[in-house]
Amino acid sequence: MTNYQSQLSLAKEAAKVAGEIIRSYHSTSVGRSNNSAKVNVKSGVDLVTEADTRVEKVVTDMIKNAFPNDLIVGEEDQAERPKGGQGENFPAGSIWCVDPIDGTTNFVHNYPFVAVSIGFIHNSVPRVGVVYNPFTNCLYEAAEGSGTLMNGKPVRIDTDATSIKDCLLVNNIGHLRNDDFIEESSERIQKWLKAGLRGFRASGSAAQNLAHVASGQVSCYFEHGFGGPWDVAAGTVLVREAGGVVWDARGDCDDLKMTFGKGSVCAGSRQVVEDVLKIAGKPKFDLNL
């Protein structure tokens, strides 16, 4: 088995540097962060800030210096990255996925579910993941075959939950505002609640959600329409190394593949994920729209 400790070490270092930058933009008062005047709209309600682009530049420069031959996929296009259309598979080789601030809307509103997400993929499989929340100061890390740690201590998924009735589920809706998408998303939540779902949450950060699944803080994470591979690459490693599964919610017990564009995910223990997907049914909304 390949040892990915050098990639893990760099990802942790870069995430901590990124966290310092993110904190420097934030006010200590309740309300909007002090970068709120520097917010741009990418599309619909999807936001990007000066902090996003600055953090991505710093992280990608650190990766390039350490691993100059690797490709980098960054959400804000600061990286020299391969191009791919919606649903296309990643090329073979070594690729880094960087989300400088996952939960930008949270960041703008001073809501603390904000994370730096750095994932390393080799031959289309996520091998290393680091997710760092600079406001809670929680760093989640994993390398293939080494288990998952939170602030240096081993963590595992929630094994007490065996069905939706035991489940604390987190579900991001994302930034899509198409009428059909909104209706389908609402109907899905109703199905879970009617089936006896114990608790429902929406945090606004895919990377943080996956980290919380890996550490057993929530039982399951579902999202149809996450923004791109940078949202889930790192967290996928965290969950799998913590004993869970990360499936494409559109398939039949299919492991989530790293592809370009939006995607669909359900993560947690196998039992809970199977139950959540069975009740929800396969998403019908076409993410290619």
Q: Of the listed 49, 60, 104, 259, which one is catalytic?
A: 104
101 is catalytic: yes
* Options 52, 56, 76, 99, the catalytic residue: 99
144, 158, 231, 241: the catalytic one is 231
CA 173 to chain centre: 13
127 touches 92 (CB < 8 A) = no
Q: What is the CB neighbour count within 10 angstroms for residue 150?
A: 21
* DSSP annotation of 69: T
Is residue 75 a known part of a binding site? yes
Instruction: Decide if 136 is catalytic.
Output: no
The catalytically annotated residue of 63, 101, 118, 164 is 101
75 is catalytic: yes
* DSSP symbol at 37: G
Q: Give yes or no: 279 in active site.
A: no
254 is in an annotated binding site: no
Q: Are 144 and 128 in contact (CB under 8 A)?
A: yes
Q: Which residues touch 77 (CB under 8 Å, ≥6 apart)?
A: none
Backbone angles phi, psi at 276, to 5 degrees: -60, -45
Nearest to 23 by CA among 181, 133, 159: 133
Is 231 marked as a binding-site residue? yes
| 231 included as an active-site residue | yes
Please pick, among 52, 56, 76, 102, the residue that the annotation labels catalytic.
102
Asked if 99 is an active-site residue, the reply is yes
Candidate list 56, 75, 166, 241, residue with the active-site label? 75
Q: Is 99 labelled a binding residue?
A: yes
Q: Which residues of 120-144 are buried (b: 16+ CB within 10 A; e: fewer)?
A: bbbeeebbbbbbbbbbeebbbbbbb
Cβ atoms within 10 Å of 252's Cβ, excluding its own:
8
Residue 101 is assigned to a ligand binding site: yes
The closest of 88, 114, 132, 108 to 46, measured between CA atoms, is 108
Count of CA atoms in the C-beta half-sphere (13 A) of 158: 24
Q: CA 30, CA 28: separation in Å to the nearest integer?
A: 7
The rounded distance, in Å, linking the Cα atoms of 132 and 128 is: 13
Residue type, 257: K
What residues are designated binding site for Mg(2+)? 75, 99, 101-102, 231
What residues are designated binding site? 75, 99, 101-102, 231
Residues acting as catalytic residues: 75, 99, 101-102, 104, 231
